Every structure is written in C-alpha cells, then in structure tokens.
Structure 1
Amino acid sequence: MADTHAHSKNAHHGAKTGLLGLAVGAVGVVFGDIGTSPLYTLKEAFSPHYGLTANHDTVLGILSLVFWALMIVVTLKYVTIIMRADNEGEGGIMALMALAQRTMPKDSKSAYAVGILGIFGASLFFGDGVITPAITTLSAVEGLEVVAPQLHTWVVPITLGIIVFLFGTQRFGTERVGKVFGPVMLVWFLSLAAIGVMNIRHNPEVFHAINPWWAMQFFATHGGHAIFILGAVVLAVTGGEALYADMGHFGARPIRHAWYWFVLPALMLNYMGQGSLLLLDPKVASNPFYLSVPQMVRIPMIVLATLAAVIASQAVITGAYSVARQAMQLGYIPRMRIQHTSKDTIGQIYIPWINWVLALAVIAVVLMFRSSTGLASAYGVSVSGTMLIDTLLLFLVARAMWPKARRWVLPLCVLFAIIDVAFLVANGVKFLDGAWFPVVLAIVVFTILRTWRRGRQLLYEEIRKEGIQLDSFLPGLMLAPPTRVPGTAIFLIAQKGMVPHALLHNLKHNKVLHERNVFLTVETLNVPHAPKDRRLKIEPIGDDFYRITVRFGFMEVPDVPLALMRSCDMDERIGIPFDPMDTTYFASRETIVAGRHRGMPVWRDRLFAFLHRNAAPATGFFRIPGNRLVELGAQVEI
C-alpha cells in the first residue's frame, strides 16, 4: 500500500524537482476539472430547476453539503484511501480493474464481472471527456453576459471557436503548453481564495456551514426533495476521480499535499465567499461566481477562467488518450495509430481518431445544450456512475489485499456507496432533461468495447478450430524439409501452439523455409510495466525453430523489434543471433465475414467486422518496420 512511482524516469524527475515542483505540476494538470467547479456549482444549485430560495438556512445547508461532499468523496475516499490502491504506481479505473482481477482466478465469473464493471466505468469516463470541455468552456465564456448582457448571442460561437482551437492543436502535444499549466492554475486558485476572502467579510457566519448539522437540517426541512439537490452538489466533486487517474504522472504524495494545503482551502474559501454574497443579496444567484468578482477585474477574470477551462479540458482529453491506450493494450478497443508528441516523456501521446471523435461530440453537445445550466443536468450521471464503480472495485481490492486496513476501509466503502448511489439517483431523475446523453454515449461505447472483446475471442476460436497444432506439424515437416534460405523469419501469432497461416502460405507459394524461424506472441500483462525478467521468454523447439513470448504492461508502448534485440544479450544456449536487417516478419490479416447463429447477433458480427477492417494493423502497432514485413490474408467467418 506504499505510494510508489511506476516510471523510473518519474522517480528521477521527482528527485530532481522535489516534492514542491511535483505538487505545482499536479496543480496544473490534475486539479483543472475540480478547480473550475466553482464556476457553475452554486449557480446550478439555485437555478429555477430546483426551486430553492437563497435564504439564510438554505445557503448554509447547500454550503455544508458542498463542504462535506469535498471532505468525504474527494479528501477521504480518493485522496486518502483509493490512492493507496496503486497498480505499481499507476491509477485510474482500468488500473483498478486490473488490480481487482489480479485477486481472482483467471477466466472466472467474478473476474468477468469485474471486467464488465471496469469497462462500463471507462465508457462513462469517455462521456465525462465529452461534457467537461463543453461545460467548463461555456461557463467561463458566460462571464461575458455579466459584463455585457448584449454579448449573450456570442457565447456559443466563442465557445465553439475555443473548442475547435483546443482540439486542433492537440497534434502538437502538450509539452510546451504544459509548462505554463502549473503557473496559470496557481494564479487561478490564488484568485479563487482571494475573491472568497474578500466576500466572506460581508458574512463570516458562512463558516458555520462546516458544521454537518446544517446539511442535516437542509434534508429535514426539504424532505424527499432534498436528495434531488445532490444533482447540483455533485458538480463540486467532478474531477475527483482525476486525482487517482493521474497518480502515475506525479505520485500520490505531491497530489495529496497539493490538495490538502492548497487546492481544497482555495475552493472552500471561494464557495464560502459566494455563499456570503448570496446571504447579502439573493439576486446574485443568477451567476454567483462572476458577480462575486469586483467589477474592475471581471474581464481579466473571464480570461483567466477561460484559460483554466482550457487546462481542465486538456487534462480530460489527455486522460481519454491514456484510457484508450490502456484499453487497446488490454484488448478492449481496436488498435489505433498513436503519435508520440514528446521525445522525453513517453506518456505524452496523441490519438487522432479519439481526438476528432471527441471534438465532434463536444461541438454537438455545445450546440445541443447551448448553456452551462443545460449541460449541468447531463454532467453528474457519468461522474457519479464512475465514482460508484470505483467504490465497488475498491471494496474488492481492500477485502482481498489489505488484511489490516480492511477493518476500517470496508465500512467506509459502504458509506461511499450510499453517497454515490444518492448522487446517481439525484442525477438519474434528470434523465429527460439531458442526463440521457452521457448514459446513451456510455452504452454506445460499452457496446463497442464488448463487441470488440467478444469478437476477438470468436475469431481466435475459429482460427484454433481450423488450425493445425504446431507440435504435430513440425516433426512431419522436417521429415522432408524444404530448401532453407539464410535469415530469420518471425511469424506473428495470437494463438500459442498453432501453425500460423503465414507459414503455410509461405511454404505453399515460395516452397522455402528460413534458416531460423520464430513463432512470436505478444502478451499484455495486468500491470502497468512488464518487469525486465518477464519481458522476453525464448523456448527453443529444435531445428532452429523458437517460440518467443514478448510481454508489455498496459501503460507501455509495445516495441517488438526493440524487445527482440534483448535476445542478443541472453545466454547463447537460448538466445538468438537477431540481426534486424536480416529478419523478415510474416503476419496474417484476416477478413471477417458475419455468420448467422454463431456467438453474437449478426449486427454485432458486422460491427466487429467494421472495427476489424478499420483497426490499425498489429504490425504498425507493434512498431514493426514496413520494409521488413510480409502480410498474407485469410477469410474467417464468425
């Protein structure tokens, strides 16, 4: 349960820059989403949708709910407890899913159920990735309406322009822009705190909201209607899951320190300041954030808020790339072209297909809802759903892996689950008002992920059914061996022990066999980075035939030629004299034909065929040079 860094480079970086430097970096990247929540949380709570009046007891009740939501959900659940569940230093729902599955028998029903949970949580995350850029940018630009109401018609066009610019510049990478993220967000949080302190002096009694009695009094006064208000309160904790997801980049300690001593106080001071202003003048409920800003600095604050919104959006977009890469490695989505945008940091990647699908979805959402208030109805479902799944996975991990801590963690998981369910119910009642969008989006993404996973299983079953066992094929082949030519042939196979189609085609058409023949399988482990001693496994099977297994972690970029170079350094008895210029890679590329009454409905077969047809070739994904590659086709019916 110790906090560790997954990457040796990160550890070196941490030693070089120190805790303070990493904490500043975490402020710039990790807290963007939750840091922009003051823009719209109290505005939504007092919107006409909920019918609340900004009187003394109601304001203190809402502030108390916001404070305790931040303390229980973010501080206790994510920062204090769930960050202990690191998968070799990495966090996020996919890492937590892999960690939970590691405690269960492979291919068991429980492992399957955990996989379903994790994949649906990842699907909800993509919904969050669509809504966050839209709502944060819209709410920031809506400050123009406070300064000049006649600019109302320009809010949506300006928002769309910022979003197009944001997604259009992704291909250049975030390394340069990322250097200013930390300082900008430091200024943002300091501004939040300063504005809060300036407004609190009007009504210092808002600090009474720290007493949970006010939250309980709010529920007692409003009865069953009070639970629906949680649909607005949850907006204060959106982005809490990002603290865990980005743990691998900075480590748990810097994130914890930044949250405890800087981000949390700044957020609460601002919320208290907005509450103090509401007690002074209930009319500011139309936009408590911007109306709490002194008139002379509102325009600079709009600019700063827009920059903070862009940074928050950038963090979510980058997170979508990371989750997509993990899902690719774990076999849940088709392989896609990945571009590396930094020579120094392997984690900085750009996935064009994910980028432009997200961009189109965000633009559609802005045009559909046209205001942050409209989007607030849609926002909470994906966040509360993801948080509930995190709680369930945490329960499984704590029960199996934390024998000492589980005595107090498991009861807390019950509390977290009750709160998560309450948030989910509060947002679920807004289904027709916009909450349907992230639900539908998550179902679509989930269907694609499950179809790809199931389709691959069916494809491998068909290949195995029609294939020939390698152990029986090779002895027969060597009874009358074909002509052998110099060099090494590497046959990529997904199924161990089967004769690859590419070898059969090569024998049939070219009637030759290479001097050395390697049957190569690439595996992805359920850890972020494969240990060096497990990276490469070489099994000689006689007559210069070899079985090689190359393993990568789910956070790694698979580079097969680089991994094979290690064989040159291994013991001469099991190593292979691997010369990249004298090596040819052979791969099969299957064409999928949808069949009736098989493992999936025909429409899912056709969806899988479409995904398979448009997936990036495994050879490119594994960084195999095109000038050393021979691809041979095969048709498979599933």
Structure 2
Amino acid sequence: MASLDTHFSDVEPRRAGLMSLSLAAIGVVYGDIGTSPLYAFREAMLAAGASHGGVNRADVLGVLSLIVWALILIVTLKYVIILLHADNEGEGGTLSLLALAQRAMGRSNRVVLTLGLIGAALFFGDAAITPAISVLSAIEGLKLVTDGVDPFIEPIAIVIIIGLFLVQNRGTEAVARFFGPITLVWFLVMAAGGVHWMLKDPEVLAAVNPIHAIRFVATNGQLGLIVLGAVFLAVTGAEALYADMGHFGRKPIQVAWLFVAFPALLLTYFGQGALVLSNPEAMANPFYHLFPSWALLPVVVLATMATIIASQAVITGAFSLTQQAVQLRMMPRMKIRHTSDEHQGQIYLPAVNRWLMFGVLALVVIFGSSSSLASAYGISVTGTMVVTATLAMIVAHKHWKMPLWLAVGMMLPLLLLDLTFLGANLMKIGDGGYVPLGIAAVMFVIMASWMRGNTIVLSKDREAELPLDVLLGQIDKSESIATVSGTAVFLTSTPDLAPAALLHSLKHFKALHEQNVILTIVTEDIPRIPTSERVQIEEINDRFRRIKLRYGYAEEPDVPRALLQCRRQGWKFDIMATSFILSRRRIRLSTRSRVPSWQGKLFIALARNAAGASDYFRIPAGRVVEIGTQMNI
C-alpha cells in the first residue's frame, strides 16, 4: 500500500480505514517490541552491576537514557521516518530491499546478494529465539503470584509453544482480528503501570537528556559496551516495522508507533526506573513489580497473550520470508498451504513450522529462563539491521538518485550506531550468542549451496540441450513422428532451448501432440505483477507456441489459473485435454565436480526433498506426466 489515499475517496472513510489498519498494525507489527519491557530494563541494569540490595541513580538514568535514544534513533528515525520510504512496490523487508537494490543497480551484484542472504539468514536465528524468550519472560511472572511455581515455568512455556505451532495449519485469520485490541490493551496497561511510579519520582525524565547515555558509556569502558548489548533488547522487533509494510502500509505503521507504541514504551521504562530507585528489591522483576499484587495474575495472563501474539508475528514472518526466498530461487521449493480463501498472503509452510518449533523448544529446554536467553538475543537482530542500513545506502543513491555524499551522510551515522550495537552483542557469543549465529550460518550455507547448485544445473542444461529452433527444424523434416491429439505443456527455465522432457518424449514415444507449449515461469524483482501483464504468448508455428508467466516474488504461481488468461489472447485452453510433461531430474555428484563434495551432497539432498513442480505450481496431479533424467554436477 504505497498510499492509503488510493483506497479511500473521502475524509471520513479514509480516517476510519487508517485507524483500523493502525489498530491491526499495533498487534502484528509491534507485538515483538511491545514485549521487550518484560526483560530489557532488567537485563540492562543487571549488566550495569545493579543488585537487589541497591542501585545507583546515575546508572539508572544512564540505562534509561540509552533505551530512550535507542528507541528514538533506531526505531523512530531509521525505520519509521527513513526506511518506511524504501519500499519495493509497497513491500518491505530484507529481501524486498535486496531486490530493490539489485534493480536499481541494473545488474546482479555478488556483494549485495551476499548481504541479502546474510540478512535473511539472521532473521531465522531471530525467529527461533523470539518465541522462546517472550513466552518464558511472561510465564515467569507467575513466581510473584504464587510460591512453588518455579519448577512448572518451563513445562508451561513448552505447552504454550507446542500449542502455538500446532494451530498454525488452521490459519490466523480468526485470531488475528483480536491481535490489535489485545495488544492495545497491553500497551495501555504497561503505560498505566509506568505512569504510577514515574509520578513518584519525576526526575527519571531527565534520562531524555542524551548526556546521561554518553556519560554512562564513556565512564564505564567495556562494561558500557556490555550494557549496550543488553539495552538493545529494547528495540528487538524494530525490523518488523519494515518487513510488515506490505500488509498495512506506511501511514498506519507510523501512526501506531508515534501515538501508541512509542509513548507506552517510554512510560513503562521510566516507571521501571523510578520503581527500582525507590525499591531496589524490585530488581528481581521490575516489570511485574510495577503493578499491585491484586493485578499480578491478570497482567501475567495479558502478558502471555501479548507474547503469543509477538511469537505469531515472527512465525508468520518466517513463512513469508521463506516464500520470497523460494520465489527468488534462494531456497528449494517447499509445500505451501493456503489457510484463507480471501487473503492470499495467509500461508502455512509445514516444513518451516516443524523445524522452527523444534528450534524454539530446544532453546527453552537448554536455557530454561528469559535471563539466560537474553544473552543469546540481539546478535541476529543487530546483524540484520547492519545489512538493512547498508542496502538502504545503496537504494538511496541508486534508486532515490541522491548524491553519494548525501546518501552516505544520511545512513552512515545510523550504520555506525548499528555496528556499535552489533559489537556490543558480539561480546555475548560465549554466553549464548553462538545460538542465533549458528542458526544463521546453517541457513546461509543452505541458501548459498542451493543457489550455486542451481547455477551449475542451469549451465549444464545449456551445454546439453538443443536450441529450440534447431529441434523444430528437425521435426519439420522428420516423417517418423506420430501426431497425438490434445495439448502438451513443457516446463522449462530456458525458453530458447528445447526442454529435456520434450527431447526425451520424442526419443521414447516418437510422437508429438497437436499443440505444444514451451512454458517458462519467471519471478521478477518486484512483489507483484498486474494480472493484465501476467501472460505473454509468442506463436512459433502452427504447432508450437512459447508462453511466459510472470510473477512477483511475493506471489505464488498458479499455472492453470494463469493459462486461463490465454483465452483473452486468442488461445483456447482446455486443461482436461492438456498434459503437463515435466522433467524429474536425478542429480549425481561427478568426480570432477565444480563444487566441494560436501556442498554438492547438500545440494543433492535439498533437491531430492524439494516439493515437486506439480504441487508447487498447482498443476492437477491427474494431468502431469513426469519423465526422469539424470545429470552429473
């Protein structure tokens, strides 16, 4: 949604639409950052050396100032003001920014592509940690409600997480309508708890002065960097602002942040600061101590719902990112299920859901508490932010046509800030930071190996296959090829070459259909292609035609539906009289392979477990004929 003005024609409907979208954005976009107050201030103060026995006012003001200015500079300035304008046809996120940068440069650039892969890989590390730390931090509030609950914290969290992942295949449409109102109530409750304590010690508002943040970092040396790593927990989830732009549009996300999320977060953190100054014993869990004892259980329940919503947003983001990576041929095809007939974007990927659930449960069991997980949290997010800032610099110069000095001058200070936070978080590698880095490394190797293997396969195809015009010339001269009634569609990624399935069909059956289609499916570097521009038909001769189907990287191919559009262009298509002839390639590792043995074996394993072309392109199974071929790489 580049602009809400295109959807609403008069002032009142436009305002109503903006408000409803802003409410929805509060639930989905800000669920993650909205649960950060459960643990961010506590972990930052503990890193600064605070204890249950006493806290230092200068440290409290320093930590609060760091949190306030992190929210101002990283979330408000970088994302809400600058990056929300770096949209790719209304879409945001790392891969959208990568596609936009590649298109702006006019060519594929290996460095830019690598940056995009790193950003996407780091997101999966974040996606595994967010549900674990969010749910654990919410359930830990039960310790303040009743004694003896400590042994049950981890089992309760495990049950909630398993339930969350098991309902993914049912879709989130029915639940999502409650996300916004519940999260809005959550923000209002947090703000109310913060205001109560802030009014008892208004001097905490002095933390708005950045001098306190600068002084704290300057006077504490290495400890200041360690605290910076913990402070960053307050802005985790900021990347969702950008990634979810395609769902809600720029204005609703900005309104939701500036008028709800941002003020509520500031009040909550100020309240926690005032609380620990008056009652150092509250350092054990300053968030829940904001509230009177009678309100603890309702707040724990509300916090649990808020963390489930935050986890749902990350899981949905993992589905969307994986779909985009598949479309951009960065990952193998996967089985995708639609959970809504009305909303195309609501999808479910069983493989991603399964592995993500195992990863989240493993983190809960291994770390056991939100404090332990806090050490693992932050590295993947800061890494993604560094990638985003770098790509944004390229987009500002190449796409927005800014002078190089202006593009660098605008983004470099923010990039340096991201690098500072990344450096601070890298100090936590030994305490658990290796977990998201390990997940990201595995995902990067998978994507890089898949792309390299695909490049070699495509090169081999070009070496082995005949040019299509040469084959058609041989067919015209041959008298031994029989004619079969009906239409045959041959899928290929190289429309100028004869598809392997066509060559093998002629070799084994000595027959050719009355009508033959060479079908190529192309994924463009924009999110969506207008339906009117989906199909391109080229008549080759009276028996052959070449058809190209164009899709955006945020769309899912539906071959039968797209081919029905050919009727408007003069080609009468009857799917019940059509055979889709596909090539099922068996890949083997050559002794003279161009890739290391381990990478070749990984690519082969990925290829064998990839979803079949017929499932992925929604071709009716009863109309598919697969012909096996073998290739050595």
SS at match of 1:54: coil
591-600 vs 319-328, greater mean Cα deviation? 591-600
Q: Do the aligned residues in 2 keep the contact of 1:522 with 1:551 (CA within 8 Å)?
A: yes
Structure 1 residues 413-458: Cα deviation after superposition (integer angstroms, max 9, x where no partner): 1111111111111111111100011111100000001111111111
Please tell me whether residue 610 in structure 1 is matched to residue 605 in structure 2. yes
Is 2:38 the partner of 1:39?
A: yes
Amino acid at match of 1:56: R
Amino acid at match of 1:19: L
Give the alignment of 1:60-99 within 5 angstroms: 60-99=61-100
Query: Are the equivalent residues in 2 in contact too, given 1:6–1:90 (CA < 8 A)?
Result: no
Deviates more, 1:53-62 or 1:303-312: 53-62
Alignment of 1:258-277 (within 5 A): 258-277=256-275
1:152 aligned residue: 150
Matched residue type, 1:71: I
Q: What is the deviation of 1:244?
A: 0.5
Provide closer, same or farther for how the CA distance between residues 606 and 315 of structure 1 changes in structure 2, counting only shifts above 3 A: same
Shift of 1:51: 6.0
The answer on whether the counterparts of 2:62 and 2:213 sit within 8 Å (CA) in structure 1 is yes
Deviation at residue 404 of structure 1 after TM alignment: 5.1
Residues 234-275 of structure 1 show CA distances to partners (whole Å, capped at 9, x for unaligned) of 000000000110000010100001100111000100000000
Alpha-carbon separation, structure 2, partners of 1:412 and 1:275: 33
Note the alpha carbon deviations across 1:328-359, whole angstroms, 9 max, x for none: 00001111111111111111100000001000
**C-alpha deviations, 1:182-213, integer Å up to 9, x for none?**
11101100001111111112101111111111
List gaps (5 residues or longer) in structure 1.
Answer: none
Matched, 1:106 2:107: yes
| C-alpha distance in structure 2 between counterparts of 1:70 and 1:104, whole Å | 32
What residue is the counterpart of 1:509 in the other structure? 508
The CA distance in 1 between the partners of 2:149 and 2:138, in whole Å, is 14
C-alpha distance in 2 between matches for 1:381 and 1:42: 18
Deviates more, 1:66-75 or 1:422-431: 422-431
What is the CA-CA distance between 1:8 and the residue it aligns to? 8.2
In the alignment, which residue of structure 1 is the partner of 2:440?
Answer: 442
User: How far off is 1:597 after superposition?
Assistant: 3.4
Q: Are the structure 2 counterparts of residues 554 and 341 from structure 1 closer, same or farther at C-alpha, using a change threshold of 3 Å?
A: same
Normalised by the size of structure 1, how large is the TM-score? 0.95
1:165 aligns with 2:176: no
Separation in structure 2 between the aligned mates of residue 270 and residue 179 of structure 1, nearest angstrom: 26
The CA deviation string for residues 515-542 of structure 1, in whole angstroms up to 9 with x for no partner, is: 1111111110000001345321111111
Retained in 1: the 8 A contact 2:537–2:547?
A: yes
For 1:414-425, list aligned pairs within 5 A.
Answer: 414-425=412-423
Distance 1:629 1:113 in 2: 40
TM-score (norm 2): 0.96
Deviation at 1:483, TM superposition (A): 2.2
Code of the residue aligned with 2:226 in structure 1: it is F
2:590 counterpart (585, 591, 595): 595
| Unaligned ranges ≥5, structure 2 | none
Q: Sort the Cα spacing of 1:65 and 1:48 in 2 relative to 1 into closer, same or farther, 3 A.
A: closer
Indicate whether 1:244 and 2:242 are aligned. Answer: yes
Counting only pairs closer than 5 Å after superposition, residues 354-369 of structure 1 correspond to structure 2 as 354-369=352-367
Tell me which residue corresponds to 1:493.
492
Aligned to 1:351: 349
1:199 match: 197
Superposition pairs of residues 228-627 of structure 1, within 5 angstroms: 228-403=226-401, 409-481=407-479, 482-570=481-569, 575-627=570-622
Alignment match of 1:141 (pick from 114, 117, 139): 139
Whether the 8 Å CA contact 1:485–1:512 is kept in 2: the answer is yes
1:529, 1:552 within 8 Å by CA — same for their partners in 2?
yes
Rounded Cα–Cα distance in structure 2 between residues aligned with 1:576 and 1:477? 23
Q: Percent identity?
A: 47
**Secondary structure class of the residue paired with 2:520:** strand
CA change 1:5–1:535 in 2 (3 A) is farther
Q: Give the Å deviation of 1:5.
A: 7.1
| SS at 2:549 equivalent | strand
Contact conserved, 2:47 with 2:227, CA < 8 A, in 1? Answer: no
Corresponding residue pairs, total: 627
Counterparts of 1:529 and 1:242, CA distance in 2: 20
Q: Distance in 1 between matches of 2:627 and 2:444?
A: 32
> What is the rounded CA distance, in whole Å, between the counterparts of 1:350 and 1:5 in structure 2?
28
Tell me how far apart the structure 2 counterparts of residues 365 and 540 of structure 1 sit (CA, whole Å).
Answer: 57
Decide whether the 8 Å contact of 1:129 with 1:320 is kept in 2: yes
Q: SS at the partner of 2:90?
A: coil
Secondary structure, aligned partner of 1:150: coil
Query: What is the RMSD computed on CA atoms of the aligned residues?
Result: 1.9
In structure 1, the residue matched to 2:632 is 637
Letter in 2 for 1:596: T
Query: Hey, what does 2:180 align to over in structure 1?
Result: 182
What's the CA shift for 1:400?
Answer: 1.0
